[in-house]
Amino acid sequence: MLQHDVVIVGSGLAGMRAALEVCGELNTAIVTKVYPSRSHSGAAQGGVAASLANEAKDDNWELHMFDTVKGSDYLGDQDAIEIMAKDAPTTIREMEHFGCPFSRTPEGKIAQRDFGGHSRPRSCYAADRTGHALLHTLHEQVMRRKKDLTIYSEFYLLSLIIKDGVCGGITAMDIKTRKIEVIRVRSVIFATGGYGRAFSITSNAFASTGDGIMAAYRVGLPLQDMEFVQFHPTGLFGQGILVSEAARGEGGYLLNSKGERFMEKYASSRMELAPRDIVSRSEQTEIDEGRGVGPNGKAIHLDMRHLGREKILERLPQVRQLGIDFIGMDMVEEPILIQPTAHYSMGGIPTDNDGRVIIDDKKTRITGFFAAGECACVSVHGANRLGTNSLLDALVFGRRTGKTVLEETRNKDFPPVNEEEEIGKVKKEISDILDSPGTESMNDIRNSLKDNMMDRCGVFRDKTRLEECLKAVKGLQARFPKGKIMDKGTNFNTEIIEAIELRNMLDFSEIIVTGALAREESRGGHARKDFPKRDDVKWLKHTLAAKAADGGIELKYKPVAITKHRPEERKY
C-alpha cells in the first residue's frame, strides 16, 4: 500500500494549482492518467477572464460577476461567482509573476480581448495557446517545490475509498504494468476534468471521460447539474476540434448559405459574441431550416478573411493551422466550415466555495474529500459557462481548495483502509471485463453511444428524443458486459483502460439524459423544444443525481444561491 498525506487526481490547471498550496508542506502525490503537461487544460486557446481593465477602463469585478450570473441563466451560485470575479485580477497577476508569457498591449500591459457574453474585453491571452502557457507555467512552479512530491504519471484512478462519510484514499492502476495500488491518504482532491467524450462531435481530449465523477457517484455521492452540457459554436466540421471563440472575439463572422450574418436575427446587440448556448442554437436553427453550408448543409461558415493575414497569424496561429491540418481549409484564404461541438461540462461533483465535497443542500460534507476544476460544480457556471471563465474557475478554486486541504490535513489522522477488500473489489470489476464472453465490439458500443448522445441529447432536446436516447443508452449498458477485449496482457493494456472509460461514459450519459428528461424547461445549455421557456417557478434549482438503493438514479434538487441579482429575462 502506498501512503501520502494528500493525493491529487488530475494534473490540469486545477490539480496543479492546488498542488502548489500543499506540496512542500505535506507529503503530496499527483496521480494522472496522462503526463502533467498533456492534461486537457493545455489545449485551451482563447484566454482567461479577469477585470484588469487594461482595455476597457471601466471594467470591474461587479460587471464580471453580473455577466457571469446572466450567462449562467441565473443558475450559478452568486456567492461563488462573486468570489471568482473578485479573485480574478490577483489570480492573473500571480500567474504573470510565476512567468506566464501573456500577450501584451503596445504599452506592455497584459492584452485583453472580447469574448462571448462578457460586456467588456477581459480575456487575458497568450496568442491562442493560453492553456498551454498557463499549464506549463504551473508545472514549472510545481517542479520548483517538488520536495515531498511524487508524480504518478500514466496511473489510472479506479475507485474512491469512502467509509462512513470519511475518505481514506483511492485505488489506481499503473498503466505500464496493470498493477493495482491502494493509495492511502489523509485527504483526496479530485481535479479530473470534464466528460465531453460521450458525444461524437467534441472538442475534448481523449482523457475527458468523466472517470473522477463516476468514481464519486459509485460510492454513493450525488452529482450536480449533469444535464447541462455546453456546445461550443465553432468546432471544425466533422471533427469537433475547437476553433477558439477568440476567432469571433477578434471579429470573425458567422454566415449561412445565403451569406447572411444570421446572428442579427437572434442576438442583434452581441451578434457573434452572444453566449455560447445562444450562438450554438442559432447555428443549429439555421442548419435545421435548410440554410446550412457544406456537405448536406450541416455546417456554417466562419469567415475571418476581413481580418487580414497578419492579424490572423499573430493572434490565431494555432486555430488557423488546425483548420489547414484537419479539414484542409485556410481561414486566411476562405471561410471555413464549422459546427457546434460538445465542449464543457457544467455539472460535476458538488462542492462548497472552498472545495469541500458536499452531498445535500444542508452542506453535509465528506471528510477528507475535495474537488476542483471542471469535474467540480461549485457552481460558478450554472446552466451555461462564459468563455474564459473555466481556466479562471480552475485556478481560483484550485488555489482555494489547496489552501483548505493544507489547513484541514495537518492535524488529521489517516483513516483506516482495508487494502485487501479495496483491491479485491476493483480486481473483480476488471476481471469481469477481461473475461467476458466477448460477443460484442466495444468500438461499436462506444460509437453508438456517441452518435446517440449527439443526435438525441445535443443542442436541442425534447421528450421523445430523450426517451429514445435513454432507452438506447440502457441497451448499450446491457451490451457492455459482453464486450470483447482482445488484449489480455499486463503491459500498457490501453484496451482495458478504454473499456473502463466506456463504462464510465455509458453511466454518466444515463445521468445526463435522466436529468434532462426531468427538467421540463429551457435554461442555458439545456434547450427543450417542447418546453422552450425558462421556468423559474419550478426549475430555479440545482439537480442532484445519486445512485438509488435499486441501482437506478434518484433525482433531488437544491436551491440556487441568489445574493445580488434577481433573475430576469436574458436578452443580448
Ligand X SMILES: Cc1cc2nc3c(=O)[nH]c(=O)nc-3n(C[C@H](O)[C@H](O)[C@H](O)COP(=O)(O)OP(=O)(O)OC[C@H]3O[C@@H](n4cnc5c(N)ncnc54)[C@H](O)[C@@H]3O)c2cc1C
Which residues of this chain interact with ligand X, rule CB under 6 A?
9-15, 31-34, 39-41, 43-48, 130-131, 155-157, 191-194, 203-204, 207-208, 211-212, 242, 244, 344, 373-375, 387-391, 394
Q: From the CB of 319, what's the least distance to ligand X, in Å?
A: 10
Please identify, using beta-carbon distances, which residue of 335 and 398 lies nearer to ligand X.
Answer: 398
Q: From the CB of 10, what's the least distance to ligand X, in Å?
A: 3
Q: From the CB of 375, what's the least distance to ligand X, in Å?
A: 6
355 touches 365 (CB < 8 A): no
What is the 3-state secondary structure of 412-449?
A: CCCCCCCHHHHHHHHHHHHHHHHCCCCCECHHHHHHHH
Please identify, using beta-carbon distances, which residue of 34 and 466 lies nearer to ligand X.
Answer: 34
Q: From the CB of 272, what's the least distance to ligand X, in Å?
A: 16
One-letter amino acid of 244: S
200 touches 454 (CB < 8 A): yes
402 half-sphere exposure, CB direction, 13 A CA radius: 28
Catalytic residue among 113, 120, 197, 276: 276
Question: Among all residues, whose Cβ is closest to ligand X?
Answer: 12
Q: From the CB of 316, what's the least distance to ligand X, in Å?
A: 12
Q: Cα–Cα distance between 299 and 296 in angstroms, integer?
A: 8
475 touches 180 (CB < 8 A): no
Q: From the CB of 440, what's the least distance to ligand X, in Å?
A: 23
CA distances to 240, 301, 568 from 329, in Å: 15, 11, 42
Q: From the CB of 126, what's the least distance to ligand X, in Å?
A: 10
Please identify, using beta-carbon distances, which residue of 241 and 560 lies nearer to ligand X.
Answer: 241
Q: From the CB of 568, what's the least distance to ligand X, in Å?
A: 25
86 touches 62 (CB < 8 A): no
Provide DSSP, 71-96.
HTTT-S-HHHHHHHHHHHHHHHHHHH
- Contacts with 420 (C-beta within 8 Å, 6 or more apart), sequence order: none
Neighbour-count burial for 512-524, b at 16+ CB within 10 Å, e otherwise: bbbbbbebebbbb
The residues pairing with 49 across neighbouring beta strands, listed in sequence order, are: 123
Please identify, using beta-carbon distances, which residue of 276 and 542 lies nearer to ligand X.
Answer: 276
From 273, 268, 204, select the one nearest 245 (Cα to Cα). Answer: 273
- Contacts with 506 (C-beta within 8 Å, 6 or more apart), sequence order: 445, 449, 473, 476, 477, 480
Residue 140: is it exposed, middle or buried by C-beta count within 10 angstroms (0-12/13-18/19+)?
A: middle
The answer to whether residue 528 is catalytic is no
Q: Cα–Cα distance between 538 and 519 in angstroms, integer?
A: 9
Please identify, using beta-carbon distances, which residue of 133 and 466 lies nearer to ligand X.
Answer: 133
Please identify, using beta-carbon distances, which residue of 27 and 208 lies nearer to ligand X.
Answer: 208
Query: What phi and psi values does residue 114 have, to the nearest 5 degrees?
Result: -70, 150
Q: Going along 134-279, which residue ranges are E strands? A: 149-153, 155-163, 166-174, 179-184, 187-190, 223-224, 229-236, 253-255
- Which residues are annotated as catalytic? 276
